[in-house]
Amino acid sequence: MDYFIRGNFCAALFRDILEPIMEAEVRIYHQLGPECDPPSNSATKELKLLSEKEVSAKKNCLIGTAQTDKFGNYSFNLPQTYRNTPIAIDILLKQAPRQKEGKHKPIQVFIRKLNPIWRSSDDCFIYRYNYSFPFEDWYQIRKLFDAWTIYGKITLESSGTSQVSGLEVTAMDVDWIHDDFLGKALTNDKGYFRIDYGSADYKKTFLSPLINVETPVRTIRGPGVYFQVADSDGAVIYKEERKVGHYESRKNIPRCFFVDLHLAAENVPDKKRI
């Protein structure tokens, strides 16, 4: 009979907001020799990033791989030679979810050693394993990828629960010489939006792209942000002044930043109200 491992990978983008880990490679290893023993991090629960040497050392222990979909789901059919033995699961990340393309080395993370408890289902056996990266661990991984995200919500001031959809939100970084465009996004049916960018988007100088402000990724300070909102016709219905980017609450923002923008209801076309 066939053996299937199925599950989901996600991560805490914020302490109360999860994101699916999409387009990542789940790697399954057997544990039939000392060279296949995973690193011991079960006691400390520390994040274990594998070096190229560690990955190479256990290449002969690899059973196979599976790809996560846009929801973070994966499914892997173990080979017929599998004999219900312990396995180890790693995940190979090529970039952070929704990150702009860049030259970043892939990161392989050891997840856990497992002794599957198989459940019979029709003509096969299934073991389900889900994993969610804690906020602290995921923040460190995103830092290595130089991934930055603004996650926000638009609310109508006329009602604390009214939200708008289909509006275009633009994020800018205030600078001494020339303000930088970080990105833009449309609000969803609940009024939420997400903008992903990298430090190169706000380290620009008047000589960019030939010369950017070069700073080690680990020590990069965040941008100072201000926002603009337009309706579906392109008419600006909300615009913050540049000086907002210098406010304490908006300057040097963290890699994962949440913002709640309140709009006057009279400025939003009726067809955009929920």
Count other Cβ atoms within 10 Å, centred on residue 9.
23
- Whose tokens are 């406010």? That residue is 247
Question: Please, what's the largest Cα pairwise distance for the chain?
Answer: 69
Residue 224 and residue 243: Cα distance in Å, rounded? 9
DSSP per position, 173-209: E--SSSPEEEEEEE--TTSEEEEEE-GGGTSB-TTTT
C-alpha radius of gyration, the chain, whole number: 23
Mean pLDDT of the chain: 86
Closest CA to 201 of 99, 96, 107, 97: 99
Within the chain, residue ranges assigned H as helices are 52-57, 135-144
Strand blocks (E) in 15-167: 17-20, 25-30, 48-50, 62-67, 73-78, 87-93, 107-114, 119-121, 124-128, 131-133, 148-156
Is the pLDDT confidence value at 129 over 50?
Answer: yes
Percent of the residues in the chain that have a pLDDT greater than 90, as a whole number: 64
Q: Using CA atoms, how far apart are residues 237 and 263, in angstroms rounded to an integer?
A: 8
115 has a pLDDT exceeding 80: yes
Tell me, rounded to whole angstroms, the distance of Cα 81 from its chain centroid.
36
Tokens for 200? 């190169």
- The answer to whether the Cα torsion of 141, 144, 147, 153 is positive or negative is positive
The conformation of residue 141, written as its DSSP 8-state character, comes to H
Strands 124-128 and 2-14: parallel
> How confident is the model at residue 51, as a pLDDT?
93
The reported pLDDT for the residue numbered 271 is 53
pLDDT tens digits for range 140-164: 999 999 999 999 999 887 755 555 8
Q: Tell me, what's the pLDDT at 33?
A: 74
Amino acid at 45: K
83 or 150, which is more confident: 150
List every span in the chain annotated with CATH 2.60.40.10: 148-272
Predicted local confidence at residue 269, as pLDDT: 67
CB count, 10 Å around CB of 98?
13
The residue that leads in pLDDT, 263 or 204, is 263
Q: What is the mean pLDDT of residues 20-33?
A: 92
**Global pTM value:** 0.84
Q: Answer whether residue 274 shows pLDDT above 50.
A: no
| From 68-77, 92-101, 191-200, the region with the lowest mean pLDDT | 92-101
Asked whether residue 219 carries a pLDDT value surpassing 80, the answer given is: no
User: In the predicted model, what is the mean pLDDT of residues 14-27?
Assistant: 95
Reported as a pLDDT band with limits 50, 70 and 90, residue 214 is very low
Tell me the torsion sign for CA atoms 8, 13, 18, 19: negative
Pick the CATH number of 2-141 from 2.60.120, 2.60.40, 3.40.50, 2.30.29: 2.60.40
Render the burial of 197-214: b for 16+ CB within 10 Å, e for the rest.
Answer: bbbbbbbbeeeeeeeeee
For domain 148-272, give the fold: Immunoglobulin-like (2.60.40)
pLDDT score of 56: 93
CA-CA distance, 74 to 99, in Å (whole number)? 20
**For the segment 32-44, what is each residue's pLDDT rounded down to a tens digit?**
777 777 666 554 5
Per-residue confidence (pLDDT) for residue 221, from 0 to 100: 80
- Position 189: which residue type? D
Q: Determine the pLDDT at residue 49.
A: 94
